[in-house]
Amino acid sequence: MYKAKAKSAGGDSSAVYDVRMTGRAVGRLDLESDLRLALGRNELSLEYQPIMDVATEMPVGFEALLRWRHRDQGLIMPDTFIPIAEETGLILPIGAWVLREALRQVQEWRRSVPAAENFSAAVNVSGRQLVAKDFPEIVEEAILFSGIDPAAVHLEVTETVLMDQPDLPKETLQRLSRLGIGLSIDDFGTGYSSLSYLKWLSARTVKIDRTFVEELGSDPHGATIIELVLGMAGSLNLDVIAEGVESKVQLSELRRLGVRHAQGFLWSKPMPPAPVPSWLTALTAGSPGQEPSPHVR
């Protein structure tokens, strides 16, 4: 019923059953069962993509991205397992681990790599986490455990998630704000948010979705939406990060428009932790960055 969207359409609709649905349902149940064991089996890991200063092309922080390398199936994409984690509630223990590990790792680089001493750490959070009553305590514990400056912590929430959470407790957001962390609105421009939403969320950053960035240089109207976002962000004292930068043409356009920060394969694909220090050293020494590779998120 769920796969055919009969229930998600409101519960008063119907759909024709297809025997292939059984196979998909069984496969999903198997993934759910394995996901419950993934943390204990050390199958979950984080990769890090740098957030760059557009003017200098030097990194200012990293976004942590979750990966699941199944012992039998290999790499399973987040688009496949994150919805399962959210529906089952597994996103709560997994999300707590992600937050703790990401802040610990970025703080380790801040302490040990001279070029990284002021880096920020961006971590994606789900709507399920935001409505959990103990979420502010989990964030505070992760900050204390890592020793990172709270001002360097950015929690990223997609615009669609925010709009799907009409009962999002304002008290939770206020408590997070009092910790001194930043809230970023990811995939901005793809949902239906309003200026009033941004105001009461106390957001610090909006991230322009890659679908708008990829049009730069090829569509004469490609810069229009970005200009509008920049104008709105400036009025609300918000920083702007452009996602999905893959070419020098796009970078040149972002500079012309006045975008301060960006991320994308032009500089680096998401990396496991081990090569990050040498990548940073090579970058600060003037060596070329990594070549772009197929996008994994």
Per-residue pLDDT of the chain (297 residues; tens, 9 = 90+): 444 444 444 556 666 665 555 555 656 788 999 999 998 999 999 999 999 999 999 999 999 999 999 999 999 989 999 999 999 999 999 999 999 999 999 999 999 998 899 999 999 998 889 888 899 999 999 999 999 999 999 999 876 676 666 566 677 878 888 899 998 888 776 554 555 566 666 788 989 888 889 988 887 777 888 998 898 888 888 899 999 999 999 999 999 999 999 999 999 999 999 999 999 988 887 744 444 333 333
Q: Which CATH architecture has domain 40-284?
A: Alpha-Beta Barrel (3.20)
Give CA–CA dist 49/265, Å, rounded. 9
Give CA–CA dist 257/208, Å, rounded. 13
**What are the domain boundaries of the chain?**
40-284
In a 10 Å sphere around its CB, with 0-12 CB exposed, 13-18 middle and 19+ buried, how is residue 40 labelled?
A: exposed
**Helix ranges restricted to H, 147-288:** 159-163, 170-178, 195-201, 210-213, 222-235, 248-257, 276-284
DSSP 271: B
Report pLDDT for 203: 80
Rounded to an integer, what is the distance from CA 93 to the centroid of its chain? 17
Report pLDDT for 26: 57
Report pLDDT for 133: 87
3-state helix, strand, coil in the chain (%, to 5): 45, 20, 35
Report pLDDT for 279: 94
